[in-house]
Structure 1
Amino acid sequence: MTLDIQKVKEFSNKVWDEQIIPTLSKYIEIPNQSPLFDKDWATNGYTDQAMQLIFNWVKAQDVKGMSVEIKTIPDHTPIIFIVIEPTRENPKNVLLYGHMDKQPPLPELWDADLGPYKAVVKNGKLFGRGGADDGYSTFASIAAVQALQQQNIPHDRYVIIIEGSEESGSVHLPAYITKLEKEIGVPALVVCLDSGSGNYDQLWMTSSLRGVLTGDLTVKVLDQASHSGSASGIVPSSFRIAKQLISRIEDELTGEIHKDLQVEIPSYRIDQIKLCSEVLGNTIFEEFEWAGKTHPVTKDLIQLHINKTWKPTLCVTGVEGIPPCSNAGNVLRTHTTLKLSVRLPPSMTAEKATKVLKEILEKDPPYGASVTFKCDKSATGWDSPAVQPWLDAALGEASHTFYGKPHVYMGEGGTIPFMGLLGYAVCDIGFTYLLIYSTVGEKFPQAQFVITGLLGPGSNAHSGNESLDIEYGKKLLGCIIYMLDRQAKQ
C-alpha cells in the first residue's frame, strides 16, 4: 500500500483541531508538577488526574490491536504503557516516548491574559504549561498510528511509554524499564517527541543532548546571625565564600567551565554545527527578549552553537538564606544556599560530573567554612549513533513533503533523561548505583533514533508564556506518519 500524502495532511489538520487541541487544553489546566517540584504529588491527586485524562483519551481511540494500562510501582510516579500489535509480516519493534509531568508554574512570568494552567489559543499558538513540553506527545503518537490504519497501511509493533518524572531527571523511569523489559522488546527505531526545532520552517532532528546536574551549594559561617556592624570584617560573608567556590568551576569573565567537565567534540559534530549555523543565522540569539543593551557572549554563530550543545555551562537558578530587599536588615547572615544547574557535554556521565563538582566545591573551603554540595537531580546526555541511509532519506523526503525544505540535524542544549537511560540506566538504591545497561549498542544494537519536537524559538519551555506552534505541530505529525510508514517497509 502506498501512503496517500493528501489524506495524511487532511487527517493531521483534523485530528489536531478536533482531538489534540481540545484534550491538550484540558491537560494544561491540571496543575500536575514533576515530583522534584511537588512533594505532595502522591497525595494531591494532580498526577493521577493528568494520567487518567490521557489514559481515557487513548482508550477511546479507534486503534486496532491496542492495549493500554496505567502501570504503577510504590513510591514511583505512574506511567502509561501502550502496546499496538503489528499488522505487517515480519514486524519490528518501534518504541515511542513522551512524558506528562510539568515544570513549576512560575505565574509571575506569564502575560496578564495567559497563565500556566490556562489553555489559550492565540496567534496560531496554544499557550499553557506542559503543552509543548511535552503533553502533546501521547496524542501525536496515537494519531500517527491511526493515520496508518485508516489507510490500511501494514505497520510494525508499537510500544508507547508516557512517564511522569522526566522533569525530575526521569528518576522513576528506570524501574519501569527494567520491569517491562520483555514487553518492550528490542526496538529497531526509537521515536522521542520531547525535543525541539531550530525554526518552524523545516524538520529538525536532534543529534545530541546535553546532560544536566542540579544541586544545592550551602556555605555556613555562623550558628547565629549577627549585626553587620559587629561581625563584618571579622566573620567572612557566606555569600563571598560562595562566589569564591563558584569561581573554582566557572571563569566569571568568560563563562568557561573547569577542564575536568570538558570533553573532546567529534569533528563530524562540528561539521553539523556549521551547517546548522548557516541555516539559522542570528536566530540562535535573536529569539531571546534581551534587556537593555545586553548582548550574546559572542557574535560567532558557530561558537554559540558549540556553547549551547557541547560545552558545559553553569547557571544559578535559586537561592536560600537571603531575605528580599524589602526585608533586608543590617545583618551578617548565617549561611547562603545557591541552587546550581550545570549542563553537561553529551558524552560525559552525570555520575562523573557529580563527583568532580562535589570534590572541587567542598575541598579546602575558604576560612574553614562549612561547605556542602548536595546533588538533587542528574541525567546523562546523549549522542546519537550514525543515522542509516534509509532513515536519513526518509527524514529528508518527509521534510520536503510537509515543509518544503530539507531536514537539519541539530544538537540540543537541554536534556531528555530517557535518552541517557538507553545508554545506561542508573538506579539510585541508597548510596549504590546499579548499572543496568552499559551502552546503547548493547541494549539496542540495531536501533535508530528520531528525536524531534515542537520546542522551537519562543516556545519558552520551563518559563512563562510556554506555547506550541499549532501549524508546525500539524506538519510534524505528518512527518512522523511518513517516517513510520518508511520504517515498516524496511
Structure 2
Amino acid sequence: MDASRFNPTLVERHVSAKWDDEIVPQLVEYIRIPNKSPMFDTDWVKNGFMDDAVKLMEGWARRQDIPGMQLEVVRLEGRTPLIFIEIPAAHGGRDDDCVLLYGHLDKQPEMTGWDDDLGPWKPVLRDGKLYGRGGADDGYAIYGSLTAILALHEQKIPHARCVILIEACEESGSYDLPAYVDHLAERIGQPSLVVCLDSGCGNYDQLWCTTSLRGLAGGNFSVKVLDEGVHSGDASGVVPSSFRLLRQLLSRIEDEDTGRILLDGLHAEIPADRLTQAKMCAEVLDTAVFDKFPFLPGMTPMNDDLTELVLNRTWRPALSVTGVDGMPPLASAGNVLRPHTAVKLSLRLPPTLDGKRAGELLQEALLRDPPNGAEVTLDLEKASTGWNAPAMAPWLERAIDAASQAFFKRPAMYMGEGGSIPFMGMLGEKFPGAQFMITGVLGPHSNAHGPNEFLHIEMGKRVTACVARVIAEHQAASARGETSGGAAVADSGTRHGDHGCC
C-alpha cells in the first residue's frame, strides 16, 4: 500500500479516537505540572517539575505500539533533558531518508489576568478547548507526532525513517539544543523534511503553514540616578526622574506616536513573495487580523490597512516592554523619587536581519551619552536571527494543500509569524537542503504566553491528520527521487544558543 491509498476517513477516525481517549487526558495531567522554562525557574533541577513532564510524556510514548521504535531521554551534563525518539522506516519506506519532527515541553511563566475559574496549572475543558499553560505551546507535539505515525501504521502506508526531538529549553531560547543536535548528529542523520508543531494558525478552518519567523533582541535596561530613594517634594525639579530619562532613551529607538522603530539598521527589505502572502492572508482573515486580540471597547489597531498589519507582525521590527522593576505597587507607593527604573525590552526583528548586529545597534543607541550623566546599563539576554523558509518544493506544496483539502475541505494558507522558534534557524543552516512544514494550533484568542491560554482540540486533531498525510506524501516523493536530505554543516555553533524564545 502506498500514499495513493491513503484513506482520510480512517485516519480521521484513528486520530480523533486517540486524541479523545489518550491525548487530552495526558495533556490535562501535563498542564498541572508547573514546568517553567529555566529562564523562569532557575531551580528547575531541584524543583523537579521538568522531570515530571518528561516522565509523563516518556511513559505514554513507550506504550505506543510502533515496531522498532527507540526512545531515550538524553541528559547532557548541566543541560535540560531532551526526549529523542527514532522510528525506522516501515512498509517499504526509505531508511536512507528522514523526517525530523520537533516540539518542546517547557512552559512560559504564569502571567496575571486569568479568569477566576481558570489558571495556568488548572486544566479546564470547555466548548472543545483545553485551557491551561502549555497544552498548545507545545505539549501536544509529541502526542501529535506519534499519533500521525501510528495512523500510517494502521493502514500499512509506507513512511521514511522518522526522528522526534522534544526539547525542554525552547521558551528560554533553546540554548541547550545545539549541543544535543551535535551530540545526536549521527543518529539524526540527514532529514529532508522538518515538521515543527510549535507555530500558529490564522483561523481554525484550514491548515496554516509558517513561512517566516521574526528574530528577537532584548534584555534588562536600567537607568539609575540615586543611591537611594528621596522625598519627591524635596528632590523633584533638582534630581532628574529615572523614569523620564528611561523614556527619553527609548525614544531613540521607537517613535512613541506611531510605534515605528527609528533605527534604519533594524529594518529589512520584505521579499516580494512575502508581500503577496500577506495580502492573501489579509483577504482571507479580514478583521480577524486584529480582532483576535482582546481589545478594550473603543481601542483600534495601529493601522487600518489589514495587509500592513500582517506585515507589521511578521516582517517589521517592534518594541515591547514586558517587565518593570524599581516601581513599588500602587498601594505602597509613597512620595518618593525613586533611585532607578528598569524594564525588560523585547524587540522583535525582521526574519532576515542579523540578530547579533541588532543587539549591537540596540546597545549603541541606548548606552551612548546618557542624559544628565545617569548610570545606564543594558543586560542583553537575547540577540537572535529569525528565519525565512526556503522555496517550497512542488511535492511539499501539493502535499500540504492535499492535506488541508482532505481534513478541512479548504486550501492551505501560508503566513509569517511574529514570534520565534529558535530551532528553525539552526536547522535551516545545519540542513540547507531540507524542506520545512511549520504549523500549529495557536489561533485566534488561544493567547499563548498570556492568561486564558487554550488548545483548540479539533484543530489539534486535524493538524495531526495533516501531518500524517504529509509524511506519507514525503515517502512517495522520496521514492520518486524528489527529496534530498540537507547537507550537514560541521558544527551548529554556539552562536545559535542565544536565540530568542517564541
TM-score range, shorter chain: over 0.9
Which residue of 328, 336, 359 maps to 1:331? 336
Once the two structures are superposed, residues 112-158 of structure 1 have per-residue CA deviations (whole angstroms, 9 ceiling, x without a partner) of 12111111110111111000001000000011111111111121111
Alignment of 1:101-116 (within 5 A): 101-106=106-111, 108-116=112-120
Is 1:9 paired with 2:12? yes
Q: 1:214, CA displacement in angstroms?
A: 2.8
Alignment partner of 1:192 out of 171, 190, 196: 196
**8 Å Cα contact 2:268-2:353 kept in structure 1:** yes
Q: TM-score, length-normalised on structure 2?
A: 0.92
Letter in 2 for 1:61: Q
1:294-309 pair list within 5 angstroms: 294-309=299-314
1:281 aligns with 2:286: yes
TM-aligned CA deviation for residue 422 of structure 1: 1.8
2:154 matches 1:158: no
Residues in 1 aligned to 2:23 and 2:317: alpha-carbon distance in whole angstroms:
37
Query: C-alpha separation between the residues in 1 aligned to 2:137 and 2:402?
Result: 26
Match of 1:248 in 2: 252
Residues in 2 aligned to 1:398 and 1:201: alpha-carbon distance in whole angstroms: 13
With normalisation by structure 1, the TM-score equals 0.95
Distance change in 2, residues 1:122/1:378 (3 Å): farther
How far off its partner does 1:473 sit?
1.2
Q: Structure 1, residues 418-445: CA drift from partner, whole Å, max 9, x if none? A: 112224xxxxxxxxxxxxxxxx3xx323
SS of the equivalent of 1:187 reads coil
The number of equivalent residue pairs is 471
**Does the aligned pair in 2 maintain the 1:169–1:378 contact within 8 Å?**
no
Amino acid at match of 1:221: V
2:121 corresponds, among 117, 127, 147, to 117
Equivalent in the alignment of 1:18:
21
For 2:405, the equivalent position in structure 1 comes to 400
Q: Which residue of 2 aligns with 1:67?
A: 70
Which residue of the other structure, out of 368, 376, 380, is the alignment partner of 1:363?
A: 368
* Corresponding residue of 1:128: 132
Distance in 2 separating the partners of 1:454 and 1:422: 22
The answer to whether structure 1 residue 377 and structure 2 residue 382 are counterparts is: yes
How many angstroms apart in 2 are the aligned matches of 1:54 and 1:104?
20
- Aligned-residue offset at 1:292: 3.0
RMSD across aligned positions (CA): 1.0
Q: 1:467 aligns with which of 448, 454, 460?
A: 454
Q: Which runs of 5+ in 2 are unaligned?
A: 478-502
SS in 1 for 2:445: coil
Deviations 1:363-418 (A, max 9, x none): 11111111011112343211000001111111111111100100010000111111
**Partner amino acid for 1:114?**
L
What amino acid does structure 2 have at the position aligned with 1:123? D
C-alpha displacement at 1:236, in angstroms? 0.9
- 1:265 pairs, out of 261, 267, 270, with 270
CA distance in structure 2 between the partners assigned to 1:282 and 1:374 by the alignment: 38
SS at match of 1:25: helix
CA displacement at 1:347 relative to structure 2? 0.6
CA–CA distance in structure 2, aligned partners of residues 408 and 288 of structure 1? 20
Range with bigger deviation, 281-290 or 301-310: 281-290
Q: Say yes or no: does 1:98 pair with 2:85.
A: no
Q: Distance in 1 between matches of 2:8 and 2:289?
A: 32
Instruction: Give the structure 2 partner of residue 209 of structure 1.
Output: 213
2:358: which partner in 1? 353
Unpaired segments ≥5 residues, structure 1: 424-439
**Residue 450 of structure 2 is aligned to residue 445 of structure 1:** no
- 1:53 alignment counterpart: 56
Contact between 2:210 and 2:414, CA under 8 Å: does it hold in 1?
yes
Determine whether 1:170 maps to 2:174.
yes
- Answer yes or no: is the 8 Å Cα contact 1:99–1:162 preserved in 2: yes
Deviation beyond 6 Å, 4+ runs, structure 1: none
